[in-house]
Each structure stands twice: as structure tokens, then as C-alpha cells.
Chain A
Amino acid sequence: MIELTDLTKKYGEFQAVNDLNLCVKKGEVFGFIGPNGAGKTTTIKMMGGILEPTNGMVKIAGINMYEAPEKAKSKIGFIPDRPYLYEKLTGMEFLRFTADLYGVPEAVFEATALKILNDFSLADWADELVESYSHGMKQRLIMSAALLHDPEVIIVDEPMVGLDPAAIMMVKKLFRELAKQGVTVFMSTHTLKVAEETCDRIGVINKGRLIAMGTTRELQREANTTEADLERVFLNLTNNAS
């Protein structure tokens, strides 16, 4: 469902992502972890079609992002780490804007939007301007909008930033349920506990290179640790790599 081949990004002399090769299957929740500045957000931006790679290819649902970007993007629900939105629209208007953009039929829009807003505890705020929302509420609104058009792939950068514990729990459950329905979730996170609890497989990136990939158990083996804690595994892997 997601295919990254020789994906490389250079900013001048600095190599942010280096020859990244990765395949995420349909219905899989894939976690992408790494220290600050490792290249997680750059990778995610290239996958979302925001950033052009220096080299390599991104395929979403079999569609090459750089050959047919509009078609590939229509398959994605993209959730960035910082919730910048149109502040002068209400929550409901923002959802309608997204629905029109992604071609959600008018007949199903109202019911779907209300259900999603309810799920994300935003129903009471639906008719308020986004500028009056808190950081967490904006993040929840972006998530609602990303799910509105039934995407085949969800790409999410730091999903839990700004969310309260109840929302974190809800999002973790939601990702698992979506995966069961065949949606592929690719998420980058610093919250190792979330990765451990939600992801089927985890990729560790450091200095632009994918240094390890597998289930938590496989990563433990690779990091030569028997401890169940992913934090220890992460530190061992990244320290060894540097």
C-alpha cells in the first residue's frame, strides 16, 4: 500500500533522508521512530506530496506520487504535527471544505461529519470559528477532516501531540480499528509507548537512514536486549548507530 524506494532528500549538503526503502502492507499500522532531526518529518512530507525528493520514489496504493500526485493524494488522509488551519472557518465549514475538495458526496457528508465530530468530542464546537479552538481541538479537527473521505492510507506526524489522555486512548483505538478495516496507517512518533501499543511494525530512523525495522520483539533481538521496554531498544539502536 505504501512503497518507498531509494527515497533521498538533500538540503544543500545536508542529507536529511538517505536511500530509504520501505514497504507497508494494506491494513498495517506502521510506526516510524527516531531521535530529533532524524528525518521523520521530511520522510512524511515526501510521502504526503508536500516535499519533492532529491531522488527515489513514493507509491501510495500503487500510484506514483510524482507521476500522478492528485490521484495519489486523494487516497491519503494527511495529519501534520502542527495544526495550522483556516482560522476564519468554523469546524463544520472546514469539514465541508475538505469534503468538497476530496469529492465526498453531499448525501453522506452531513451524517459522516456529525459522527466524526461526535467521535472526536467536537460536536458542540462545530459552529465555532477555528480561531477559538485550543491546540488539541485543532489537532482533533484535522484528524476528523483526514478521515472524512475514507482514505486508504493515513499518514500522521506525531499524532498525540496536544491531545488529552482520553483523546490519546481514542486515537489509538481508532487506528487499530481502521487497520482492521484495511486502512494503512503510517505514523511517526516520539511516544514509544504509543508505538509499542498501536503498531504492527516499527521502523527506526537515525541520521536519515533506516537502521532497524520489525515488530517490537524483532527490534529487541536486533538491539541485543531482552527488556520489554521499547525505550531501551530505541536507545541501544540509536546509540549503536551513532
Chain B
Amino acid sequence: MNEVLTLLKPRIWHARKRGSSKANGRSGARVFLLGSFGLLFWCGIFAVSWRVLVYFKGIEDIGDILGFKLLSMMLVVSFALLLFSSILTSLSKLYLSRDLLLVHSLPVSSYKIFIARWIDSTIESAWMVIIYTLPVLISYGIVYQAGIFYYVNTMISMLCLAAIASAISTLLVMTAVIFIPASRMKSVFIFMGILSFVVIYLAIRLSQPELLVDPEVFDTVMVYITSLQTPSSPFLPSSWIYDSIRSALSSSISSSLFFTALALSFTGMIVFALVLLADAIYFKGFSKTQNAPARLLKKNVVGDRIFNFLPGPIKSFTVKEIKTFLRDQTQWTQIFLIAALVVIYVYNFKVLPLEKSPIRTVYLQNLFSFLNMGLALFVLTAITARFAYPAVSMEREAFWLVKTSPLSIRTFLWIKFFIYYFPLLILTEVLIVATNILLQVTPFMMTLSTLTVFFTVPGIVAMGVGLGAAYPDFKAENPTQTITSFGGLVFMIFCAGYIGLVVLIEAGPVYNLFMAGIRSKVISLSAWIWIFGSFILVLILSVLATSLPMRFGERRLSELQI
């Protein structure tokens, strides 16, 4: 056990050091800012779940059923999240981390290394899920006026859930690594996970769940209640946790203790089985991981000649960027995810019940079209955060190649900008045009939204590339996660502010122009000046949003010492 603790010490020291070094100066400010946002989010979850539960509690007959159904669903989702997160974390911690070569050279048996790594992996994969389910569980406790037993029991139950999910995932990973190399396994799991998510997401959305709240669809209330009361599988660990928490809420302590004991005994059993299996096969799997990864596609998908019209340095980076992007299988899955989101996004506009609204359809259509500009730009921000923001960090430790090449940092950043700008512009314009066609908006709104998006996309992409360059992390194991850093937060805030300002500046003039068109009124000269001035202001704002972050990124990246 001492050896396991020793193996965990570097992790503990690292956490402690991070805590102490971030207590002062700029890092302290970052922690404070991120912590404040985290806390705000936590309080938000608490407020929403408390409000929903109070509302449910007030509904006669089915209030408790709805509340418990919500609890059951939340636990199933948390369990699924824990499983997926544990798969990825245990793969990294047990097979792919860079320090594993050193750790395995130490005079410690492999099962002890495994135990230390598994504990580390469980904590890392579960802490966020646990922390953000707490506000929901606390609100249950408050609304159902539960005693101290509920809180203690819930804490133990949730820890069991995390340990069980981590153990199941690790069992799966450990067995699979024997057959597929770990380096490929990560891509396979991410691919499968996201594909399943996309399929389920599409299936749920296209089945129009909003009809469930339409009482006309149900023949009788009884059918509705029966459908809600359908129990979940007794073999699911989340069901035991649910039964335990539900019994604790209903003050049935003996029943609650039974289910907690069931969860605890299963946790003990599965962890024991896990360690036994690890003793037999963990090292074998780790050993296999050291083999060189085979290339999935030998054929060259991207022909270099397509880009021959570009100057040499620009061509070299463009080809490199596209090839590395396409060969990283984890990126493909993100494309599936985006495609699914786009389909759902457009579909939502198709099923909007505008004709049921008491407001005239023509107003609603054009109002939605105007608001849709903002929405589409927020979707663009999310995609930029995923692809353009980590673009500079994606150079990883090969960034020395850029620094020593006869290419200025400015050119390098603008190449990155254009690589992401064109596809993102096309995507956003497709979103806007498709939804506008579905909304049957006026030609004026169609022109306005396509033009606004055309001028705003460069600003958002430039903020992504520029701020990503200003706050790069070349040593990150997964550069796409850099968006969760301080720079990512700054990017999100700036984008939200920028989009908000554009929508705000255009709202007045657009309303004036639109109403004048509908009522066939003549617009006064002063109104024209105001309208013209507003659009010029948006244009200036867009130029500034494009140039300033790029300059900031260039300055910071040039000063960066590697």
C-alpha cells in the first residue's frame, strides 16, 4: 500500500503546487475568475433544479412521480457520462501517459502501478460529474425536507457510482487493449461514443419529444402516468443508487441502507476483480501499447497539387494542416457531431409551430430570422472554440519548426486564419440561408442576415486564432481542451460581447426598415443617417474584431520563448 501511495505522491504534490502557485498574481486572478464562473454555474444548476422540484411538488398526484423520474434520468445520464469519461481517462492514465515508461521502470509490481493509476483516473474522470450533480441532489434534499441521513447516504452512493463506472470502463479498456493497440483504441472509443450520441440525439430530436407535453397526443392521463412509472433495469448500478436515494428521501432508512449496501458490495467485488485482472493482463497490454501504431489509410486523400497556385510557405502550411486534421481520427468524430447539430438546428426551424401563434406570422418569421443571426453566430463561436482556438496549440512541440522557418509569425497566423475562415464562413452562411428559406423571410432579411454573417465571421475566427495564439499550450496532451483555459474563457466572453453588440446595434435600424417595408412608409433622412451609421459601426467593429486579436496573438506568440 505504501508503494501505491508513493506512486500517487507526484500527483498530490502537483495539485498542491498548482494550488499554492496560483494563489498569487495573474494565475490567482485566473483561478478566481474560473472559480467564480464555476460557482455561478453550480448555483445556476441548484436554482433551476430547486425551482423545477418545487413546481413538480405542487402538481397533485403525479408531482412526486415526475420528481423521481427526473432523479432517475439524471442518475442514468450521470452514470453514462462517468462511463464515457472513465474510458478516455483510464486509457490515457494506464496506457498513454508519457511518464508511464519511467513508472514501469521502477521496482514496483505492475498491479500496484495499476491501483495507483486507477485511483488517479477515477478521481480525474469523476470529480466534475459529482460536483455538478450535487446541486441537484441537494435541492432534492431541501424540497423533500430530508434529514442528515439523506446527505451522508447520497454522498456514499455517488462515490460508489463513480467507482463502479470507473471500474467497468477500466475492465473494458484493459480487455480491449489486448486486441487493439491503445493508441488506436482512444480514437475507436471516441468515435463509437460520439457516433452513438449522434444517433441517439438525432433519433430523439426527430421523434419530436415536444409532443410529449401536448396533452392532445395522449389518449388518457393514465397512459401518460404509466409511461412515466416504467421502472429502469434492476441490473443497472444507477438503479440501485436511485432506489437508495429515493428511499432516503421517503424516510425509508432500512430500504435505503439495503440499496447502498448493494452498491457498496458490488463496488468492492468489481474493484477486487479489476485488480485480479490487472495483475494478469495490465502489463501485457501496456507492453503492446509500445508497438508503433499502424497507419489506417495508406492512400493520400489530399492531393498536394490542388494547392500549387499558393505561394510555397502558404501551401506548405495549408497542406500540413489539412493532412494532420484528416489523419487524426478524433477530429472526424467532431465533424459527425457538428453535422448532427447542423441537421437538428435546421430541423428545429422546420417544425416551429408559427401558425399556432397569435402574433402575425410575417412578424414572427422575420423576428426569428433576425434572432437567428445571433444564434448562428453562437453556434459558430462553439465550432471556432473547438477548431480555430486550439489551431496554434496543435503545433505542439513541433512549434520550433515555425520559429526557425523563414516565415513571420504574422504570416503563420494569417495562414491559420484563412484555413479555418473559409469552411466556417460557408457553414454559417449555409445555416443562415437554410433556416431563412424554411422561415420564408423577406428578401430584405435574407440579404441582411447573409451580409451580417459575412462580416462577423472573420471577427470570430480571428478572435479564435488570435487568442489561441496569445495563450497557447504546446505541451497539452489534448490541445483541443485548451479552450477550458483562461484564454478560452476570454475568447468566449469576447465573442459573446461582440455578437451581442452587433445584434444590439442592428436591432433598431432593422426594425425601422422592416416596418417601413411592411407599412409602405417613407423613411426620413435622419432615420436613414441612423441606419447607415449603425451599419458602418458594425463594419468598423468587425474590422477591429478581426485585426486586434490577430495583432495581440502575433505579439504574444513572437515574445514567447520556447
The smallest beta-carbon distance between B112 and chain A, in angstroms, is 29
Contacts of A73 in B (CB 8 A): 404-406
Mark each residue of chain A from 75 to 90: 1 if its CB lies under 8 Å from any CB of chain B, else 0: 0101010101110110
Interface stretch of the complex, out of B171-179, B314-322, B535-543: B314-322
CB-contacts of B279-321 with A (<8 A):
292-295, 298, 304, 312-313, 315-317, 319-320
Q: How many angstroms from the CA of A76 to the CA of B328 in the assembled complex?
A: 31
A69 touches B408 (CB 8 A): yes
A49 touches B404 (CB 8 A): yes
A84 touches B398 (CB 8 A): yes
A51 touches B406 (CB 8 A): no
Q: How many residues of A contact B (CB 8 A)?
A: 34
A96 within 8 A of B: yes
B400 touches A103 (CB 8 A): no
B295 touches A128 (CB 8 A): yes
B405 touches A86 (CB 8 A): no
Contacts of B401 in A (CB 8 A): 85-86
B396 touches A84 (CB 8 A): yes
Indicate the size class of the contact surface on chain B.
Answer: 20 to 34
Q: How many angstroms from the CA of A128 to the CA of B292 in the assembled complex?
A: 11
A70 touches B406 (CB 8 A): yes
B295 touches A132 (CB 8 A): yes
Q: How many angstroms from the CA of A52 to the CA of B398 in the assembled complex?
A: 19
B323 touches A103 (CB 8 A): no
A51 touches B312 (CB 8 A): no
Contacts of A238 in B (CB 8 A): none
A100 touches B313 (CB 8 A): yes
Q: Closest chain B residue to A80 by CB distance?
A: B400
A86 touches B406 (CB 8 A): no
Best-surrounded residue of B319, B405, B407, B408 (most CB of chain A within 10 A): B405
B400 touches A52 (CB 8 A): no
The smallest beta-carbon distance between B475 and chain A, in angstroms, is 11
A97 touches B404 (CB 8 A): no
The smallest beta-carbon distance between B200 and chain A, in angstroms, is 30
B327 within 8 A of A: yes
Contacts of A129 in B (CB 8 A): 293, 295, 327
B562 within 8 A of A: yes
The smallest beta-carbon distance between B539 and chain A, in angstroms, is 33
B405 touches A84 (CB 8 A): no
Mark each residue of chain B from 48 to 76: 1 if its CB lies under 8 Å from any CB of chain A, else 0: 00000000000000000000000000000
Can you spell out 16 A-B residue pairs with CB atoms less than 8 angstroms apart?
A49-B403, A50-B403, A50-B404, A52-B559, A69-B408, A71-B406, A73-B405, A82-B397, A84-B396, A84-B397, A97-B320, A101-B312, A102-B406, A103-B313, A132-B294, A132-B295
* Residues of A in contact with B (beta carbons under 8 Å apart): 45, 48-52, 69-71, 73-74, 76, 78, 80, 82, 84-86, 88-89, 93, 96-103, 127-129, 131-132
Other contacts beyond A50-B404, A71-B406, A101-B405: 16, CB < 8 A: A48-B403, A49-B403, A50-B561, A50-B562, A73-B406, A78-B400, A85-B401, A86-B320, A86-B401, A88-B324, A93-B320, A96-B319, A97-B320, A100-B319, A129-B327, A132-B295
